[in-house]
Amino acid sequence: MFRNPLSDHEVPDNILQFQTPIICDYFQKTPNEELILVNDENTQHSFFHNYPTSPYIHANRVFGGKNYPQSYKIISLGQYPTRVIYTRKEKGINYKVPNNYQVETVLNGLTVLCKTQYQFSRKIVVRYTVEWTDENGQIRSSYSLSSAGAAGSLFLKEICNKPNSRVSGTTLFGLDTSFLQQIREIIASQPQQIPANRKRCFTELTSQSQKNKRISMIGKEIATQTLTILKENKFTSSSEEIIASLEAIILKINGEIVELNFHSDNITDFTQHLDSIIRACDETLISRDSYRRLAKAVPNLIREYVIEKR
């Protein structure tokens, strides 16, 4: 029997086994110059890692003059929300708890996945989950809304049938890994990348004028790219003048027929053509809405928004 500094109770040696075999091979095969050593002056803990190039971290903690090794595999780094929760103080030190954090380690000979998930309601709490696979290949889990240690203790209670066994949640979840906290804070302080294309989806546009503007914009892009394509494919004369032209394209947008007309250089002829359409509509008492519905049904008709610009 011994008193494990990671536990509040005396427990047999075979109950709390923190030394993890899951990544020993990785550290044995990795040259020392590729590993980074981080010493925490406040706690005398040491961390060997090459994160984020490698997800593996090996920790060596000192409790009562004895070394206690523990290894981790970071599955999800997580991030700190605006209102962050801290761990309970241990020797006057507490640590930030990240949201959406997932780390794999070994406890009592079983590989476990430790996860945190903030739950935002009237009172902000963290759901601490310890997940493992049983002998039948079924994924099982224990969780607590009070602390990471409570979630670990529930795991030990179910696996070892020792209701009084306790474990340090800070150590089990690796929440005292100081350099990970620094990485999260650096990422959070960096300006967010603004997407290059912030256009709303066409189906999200609410007004017809917005849709017409989007259609007109794509028409201009098509016309520009078409000229480049025609030139690259040598639709030209011996003097390198382009001899082909794009007259019209018919699009079917969400079931609606839309025709893009690419007018000739003779603006006067086209303007007169639009005037004749307007005059015909006025004489036959065809309203704008009626013409719009007619143009939808007959793709060859000039779109109503083109006439509207006239």
Reduced to 3 states, what is the DSSP secondary structure of residue 24?
Answer: helix
112 in a structural domain: yes
227 phi/psi in degrees, rounded to 5: -60, -40
> What's the CA gap between 48 and 71, in Å, rounded?
9
Residue 4: pLDDT band by 50, 70, 90 thresholds? very low
For the whole model, what pTM was predicted? 0.55
Co-location of 26 and 162 in the same domain: yes
Q: Please give the backbone phi and psi of residue 182, each rounded to the nearest 5 degrees, phi first.
A: -65, -40
- Encode pLDDT of 154-184 as tens digits: 998 888 776 777 888 999 999 999 899 999 9
Examine the domain organization and report whether 16 and 165 are in the same domain.
Answer: yes
Counting the structural domains of the chain, the total is 2
pLDDT digit string, tens, across residues 89-123: 877 889 999 999 999 999 888 899 999 999 987 78
Average pLDDT, the chain: 80
The residues near 225 (Cβ < 8 Å, ≥ 6 apart) are none
**In DSSP terms, which residues pair with 48 in a beta bridge?**
37, 58
Could you give the 3-state DSSP secondary structure of residue 57?
A: strand
Range of the domain at 170: 2-189
Domain assignment of residue 195, yes or no: no
247 and 145 in a single domain? The answer is no
CB atoms within 10 A of CB 308: 15
Same domain for 40 and 105? yes
Q: What digits encode the pLDDT tens for the residues 230-275? A: 888 888 888 888 888 888 888 888 878 787 877 655 566 667 777 7
202-206 CB contacts, 8 Å cutoff, 24+ apart: 202/253, 202/254, 203/254
| Rounded Cα distance, 107 and 19, in Å | 8
303 or 143, higher pLDDT: 143
Q: Which pLDDT value is given to residue 228?
A: 86
297 and 275 in one domain? yes
238 and 184 together in one domain: no
CA distance 86 to 265: 70
Within a domain: residue 181? yes
